[in-house]
Amino acid sequence: MSRLQVLSDEMWAQIEPLMPVASAKGGRPFRDHRLVVEAIIWRYRTGSPWRDVPESFGAWKTAWRRHDQYSKDGTWDAILAAVLTEAADADLIDWAVSVDSTVNRAHQHATNLPRDTGGSVELQESVR
């Protein structure tokens, strides 16, 4: 496995059937799904900007557009569900939950609700 290859063949075999197919309407066929998915994974693993994705993965715009498309059409959700299901069936997940009871209060000016001070805006009468 090279340093740019981020998915093993076993991992790819698991998610390949979940990748979208080209539209029946025609148009440009999809670029190699594996290469684009590896570009997306590489980008998130390194924390680099999209423009810094190595050219060996293809155009960075292709990876960005495909990531955006997969986010909108539910492809990433389907992949996550399938991977979690298989891992849970193989008893590879420890479902321990950690709950933090920290409370963070917002500043009084951070709210967007009107503030009611209880009085009128302007008092015109004199006090007798």
Note the pLDDT tens digit of each residue in 25-83. Answer: 766 777 789 999 999 999 999 999 999 999 999 899 999 999 999 999 999 999 999 99
Domain that holds residue 63: 55-93
Q: Output the six-digit token pair for 122.
A: 């302007």
Q: Examine residue 74 and state whether it is found in any structural domain, yes or no.
A: yes
pLDDT of residue 31: 74
End-to-end CA distance of the chain: 89
Q: Examine residue 60 and state whether it is found in any structural domain, yes or no.
A: yes
Length of the chain: 128
Mean pLDDT of the chain: 82
Directed axis angle between helix 75-89 and helix 60-73, to 10°?
Answer: 70
Share of the chain above pLDDT 70, in %: 76
pTM attached to this predicted model: 0.67
Number of domains within the chain: 1
